[in-house]
Amino acid sequence: MSIEQFSVRGRLADTGEGITPDELQLAARNHGMPLEGMRYDVTPPGLHYVLVHYDIPATNAGDWYLELGGCVEEPLSIGLTELRAMGRRTIRVTLECAGNGRATLQPRPISQPWLSEAVGTAEWTGVLLADLLRLAGIREDAVDVVFTGADHGVERGVEQDYQRGLSLAEAIDSGAIVAWEMNGDPLPPQHGYPLRLVVPGWYGMASVKWLRSIELIDHEFQGFQNTVAYRIKHAPDDPGKAITRIAPRALLVPPGFPDFMSRNRFVAAGTVALFGRAWSGWAPIERVEVSTDAGVNWHPATLDAPGNDDFAWRAFAYDWEATPGEHVLTVRAYDAAGNEQPIEADWNRGGFANNSAQRITVVVT
Ligand SMILES: Nc1nc2c(c(=O)[nH]1)N[C@H]1C(S)=C(S)[C@@H](COP(=O)(O)O)O[C@H]1N2
Ligand SMILES: [Mo]
């Protein structure tokens, strides 16, 4: 069988078609953050969500060189020791996979079947990408910046290294960093050891792990992950719209205790302290609303003081006077740029950026 014979197009599940073995295989490799993990301001690395398109490559910090070339005055090949000597900047960033929420769409796009847990917040330490680019000297003709990881695979018949491009302006203005630490320790293998890009505010696909090369090019990048994969499309041949920043979302830590199979919740009647996190890649979170009657009535949540990092999640709380019976909790986020989280997000073929409001069924006893 040749590489080109592997499915060239994304598929939608048939009506009523359950999770396929291929989706299960992806779900068993990649994992979300259990929602109770939102109790931590900074997610412990083992609880942070993981998404790897191909395999985690075998890498070694000792002989790792980051190649910086293309439209630059002076191409560079920088080892980890040299990179660390350039300075140290730590930013707190909430990463979310663009496919988060995919598995709840109807019809379901067949891919990594995320529910709502493909999120995590870490403190990333490294050097500003803009400083690295300036060190190499940005030439006049530079248009896009291409980031290449050490992992390799086939996607819809196209053999490739994992690669993403950003415009030069985005690469500089986003405050992206090239990071070697996560929460004060070397990056874990699954999060990009020994080096990764972190682009604050952008869906996770932009933050290339196992980063081995940065190339400035004099035209718009045409790579698979930019022009084919991560796009909002409504039909197979629709060229679609590029996915960039994270749409606002709020999630509650599910209260009380769960039923093993359904994960429906049980709480005792009385005051239930609800707690959650909200984030947006466009602007800081300004308001969160909570409904305890499936979206009929909405109440403002109390927000924690804003932190120093615009693209880290913000905590919120709401005291619910729970009365016996079955209730559906739901929450929505609003950011300072005027973006509001919808109750039902629009469908698209890849199942991207589905920020439909969370629904938690709670039985009050
Ligand atoms: N080299 C490489 N970088 C990658 C990926 C990948 O498969 N290979 N996956 C991307 C996607 S789709 C996401 S959502 C984030 C996930 O980052 P995390 O696993 O550290 O949470 O990494 C991005 N960077
Ligand atoms: Mo992703």
pLDDT in tens, 169-192: 999 999 999 999 999 999 999 999
Q: How far apart are CA 296 and CA 281, in angstroms?
A: 28
Determine the pLDDT at residue 2: 76
Predicted structure pTM score: 0.97
Q: What is the largest CA-CA distance in the chain?
A: 69
* Ligand 1 pocket residue status of 164, Cβ below 6 Å: no
Nearest CA to 286 among 335, 249, 331, 322?
A: 335
Helix (H) or strand (E) holding 135: helix 129-136
Q: Is the pLDDT of residue 1 over 70?
A: no
Burial 128-162 (b: 16+ CB within 10 A, else e): bbbebbebbebeeebebbbbbbbbeeebeeeebbb
**211-217 and 65-70 as β-strands: parallel, antiparallel, unpaired?**
parallel
Q: Is the pLDDT of residue 161 over 90?
A: yes
In the chain, % helix, strand, coil (3-state, to 5) comes to: 15, 40, 50
Amino acid occupying residue 276: G
Q: Whose CA is nearest to atom 5 of ligand 1?
A: 52
Task: Give 67-116 pLDDT, tens digit per residue.
Answer: 999 999 999 999 999 999 999 999 999 999 999 999 999 999 999 999 99
Task: Give 323-332 pLDDT, tens digit per residue.
Answer: 999 999 999 9
294 phi-psi bin (left φ>0, alpha ψ -120 to 50, beta other):
left
Cα–Cα distances in Å, from 347 out to 67, 224, 236, 237? 39, 22, 14, 16
Determine the pLDDT at residue 10: 83
Q: How far apart are CA 328 and CA 199, in angstroms?
A: 35
Topology of 3-242 in CATH?
A: Sulfite Oxidase; Chain A, domain 2 (3.90.420)
* Ligand 1 pocket residue status of 97, Cβ below 6 Å: yes
Q: How many residues comprise the chain?
A: 365
What are the domain boundaries of the chain? 3-242, 249-364
- CATH of the domain spanning 249-364: 2.60.40.650
User: What is the percentage of the chain residues whose pLDDT exceeds 70?
Assistant: 98
Q: How far apart are CA 263 and CA 256, in angstroms?
A: 11
Q: Say whether the peptide bond before residue 107 is cis (omega within 30 degrees of 0).
A: yes
Indicate the top mutation candidate among 43, 59, 187, 209 to test ligand 1's pocket, ranked by most ligand atoms within 8 A of CB: 209
* Ligand 1 pocket residue status of 243, Cβ below 6 Å: no
Q: How far apart are CA 231 and CA 224, in angstroms?
A: 10
* Ligand 1 pocket residue status of 204, Cβ below 6 Å: yes
Same fold, 3-242 and 249-364: no
